[in-house]
Structure 1
Amino acid sequence: MATQAGAKAPLRVVSLDFCADQFVVKLADRADILAVSPDATRDFSFMRREAKGLRQVRPDAETILALKPDVVIRSYGGGPQMGPFLERAGIKVHQIGWGEDFAAVRKNVREAAVALGQPARGEAIVAEFDRRLAHLKPAAQVSALYVTPGGVTTGPGSLVDRMMGQAGLVNFQTQEGWNPLPLERLVTERPAMLVTAFFTAQSPHQDYWSQARHPLVRNMLADLPVARLDGGATACSGWFMVDAMEAMAATGRSIQTKAEALPTEVRP
């Protein structure tokens, strides 16, 4: 059936992994979405509620070809050969990028929006991301440790570290990269607060032997202020990470407020 003059032609879209799902569910018209990945409604997917009811398919070539999409959005789904394979079959593939700064967020949103035929929608999301960043009220350099269920944390140079800095937190972890929690240091030193993500029943990497289960860490989780983030808000270099920064800043500010309420002689 011919499209009415001036109307946007339908775009048949498939996303292959949970990072791609976020952008497709947010940016595309729902009627255009043929399928999303099996992780689209998992609790580590930020757009999990909006993804309910959409068809889910595994990222295998036979299934994708049978759907006959106009465009496939992917980050890692289907492995490194999936993109070239689909392109040889005449299907447009858009690769979601990764990055360690906020410029990558803007780039990811804008490029995905163009690939989905929704450039204005992408610009609106970027504008709202920047507005919220500009109005973020950071804490005053509050020491914080990022803790994952797998018992690892991250130090300077990572995107999480940059998010913590934007929120006014000072990363307790000083070693670059992703490393085990610094248990030996935590015996004698403690951050003012913790930041956690993915601590939910369905989340991956719930290792019984994880350092996050160590009594020292469990006591800190019980005793210290904790910014408990939606795990999806820290993933995939997406616009939603501003939610995590606002939550971290709010917890940091609450520590300051309590400290200021104490008599001068007992302030930390």
Structure 2
Amino acid sequence: MPRPTTTGLLLLLAIGLAAIPAAAKPQRIVSLNLCADALVLRLADRADVQSVTWLARNPDNSVVAAEAATVPVNHGLAEEVAALRPDLVVVGAFTARTTVALLRRLGLPILELDVPDTIDGIRAQTRRVAAALGQVERGEGMVAAMDARLAAIRPPASHPLAVVLRPNGFTAGRGSLVDEILARAGARNLAAEQGLENYGQIPLETVALAGVRLLILNQAENRDPSLGEALLDHPILAALPDLRLVRVPSRLWTCAGPEVADAAALIAAAARQAEGAGP
């Protein structure tokens, strides 16, 4: 007997999905995006979450690794998602387009998230997801908690010059969420002052000559080194006596979510220490 094709399997699943009644509040939610995982797991009732991405269990990049440990995971395949008979699939702007297109063809409800580049955008997206999940009150609570953490930040008086260096020398300039995070932390952004828009690269010579006080790395303490970060061992950086390294775990700002408040607080604390004002 011949094995059914992928198209045949999807057709059978579509027939089954058509029999699922629409619900005012989704009760079979699947997430196909790491950043969506964080919102879904914190806003939805656990019983309503059918699956999140396998990335959600990685504590280096996920803020919900503990919550995801007991949730089934997926690898973004249309067949495995459709088999869960979801009544809402949350995807990101860069989620595999073939998968998203197939799920749309099946008539599945899709909530597609963009990538906020401002804190206002984070507020709006949190509320949008909360509304889609039927959890408006929880969404407001999450926004209020982020705003409280932002309000509690004590920026330094001197506003030290800072630069964020990611693997291969990439940094963030004007118009980026990182630039707003640095401003909230009370630090000046070298890349923005150099005229860089959004994201790009900055020469180490520029960093060395500008008098940067804070070199912010997108990594946690005690992380294994990588070739992409080899430039951070360059002698030109080691020769800067007043340079303070600040390590911000990727999970705090890989996604544009409420955790950026914690990233800003961490940078602000390092900035105060750099000016000798204490922790």
TM range (shorter): 0.7 to 0.9
**Secondary structure of 1:40's match?**
helix
Are the aligned partners of 1:110 and 1:119 in contact in 2 as well (CA < 8 Å)?
Answer: yes
Against the structure 1 CA distance between its residues 114 and 193, is the aligned structure 2 distance closer, same or farther, given a 3 Å change threshold? same
Report deviation, 1:199: 4.8
TM-score (norm 1): 0.83
| Corresponding residue for residue 224 of structure 1 | 243
The alignment's C-alpha RMSD in Å is: 2.6
Q: Confirm or deny that 1:215 pairs with 2:231.
A: no
Against the structure 1 CA distance between its residues 152 and 242, is the aligned structure 2 distance closer, same or farther, given a 3 Å change threshold? same
| Corresponding residue for residue 64 of structure 1 | 81
Task: Measure the CA separation in 1 of the matches of 2:207 and 2:271.
Answer: 19
Paired-residue identity, % = 32
**Aligned pairs (5 A) from 1:115-134:** 115-134=132-151
**Secondary structure of 2:167's match?**
coil
Runs of 5+ unmatched residues, structure 1: 1-7, 260-268
Which of 261, 269, 279 is equivalent to 1:242? 261
**Secondary structure of 2:163's match?**
strand
Are the aligned partners of 1:35 and 1:55 in contact in 2 as well (CA < 8 Å)?
Answer: yes
Worse-matched range after superposition: 226-235 or 207-216: 207-216
Report deviation, 1:165: 0.7
Letter in 1 for 2:174: P
| Corresponding residue for residue 5 of structure 1 | none
Report deviation, 1:45: 1.5
Task: Measure the CA separation in 1 of the matches of 2:131 and 2:35.
Answer: 17
Letter in 1 for 2:206: R
Report deviation, 1:105: 0.4
Report deviation, 1:9: 6.6
Letter in 1 for 2:203: P
Aligned length, in residue pairs: 250
Report deviation, 1:78: 4.3
Report deviation, 1:11: 0.8
| Corresponding residue for residue 37 of structure 1 | 53
| Corresponding residue for residue 15 of structure 2 | none
Q: Deviations over 1:3-22 (max 9, x none)?
A: xxxxx977111111211111
Which of 99, 102, 109 is equivalent to 1:92? 109
**Secondary structure of 1:65's match?**
helix
Are the aligned partners of 1:150 and 1:212 in contact in 2 as well (CA < 8 Å)?
Answer: no
Task: Measure the CA separation in 2 of the matches of 1:138 and 1:246.
Answer: 8
Worse-matched range after superposition: 96-105 or 129-138: 129-138
Which of 6, 9, 13 is equivalent to 2:29? 13
| Corresponding residue for residue 162 of structure 2 | 144
Q: Deviations over 1:9-60 (max 9, x none)?
A: 7711111121111111111122221111111122112222222222111111
Task: Measure the CA separation in 2 of the matches of 1:218 and 1:50.
Answer: 40
Q: Confirm or deny that 1:54 pairs with 2:79.
A: no
| Corresponding residue for residue 251 of structure 1 | 270
Are the aligned partners of 2:25 and 2:133 in contact in 1 as well (CA < 8 Å)?
Answer: no
Task: Measure the CA separation in 1 of the matches of 2:235 and 2:170.
Answer: 15
TM-score (norm 2): 0.80
Task: Measure the CA separation in 2 of the matches of 1:106 and 1:82.
Answer: 28
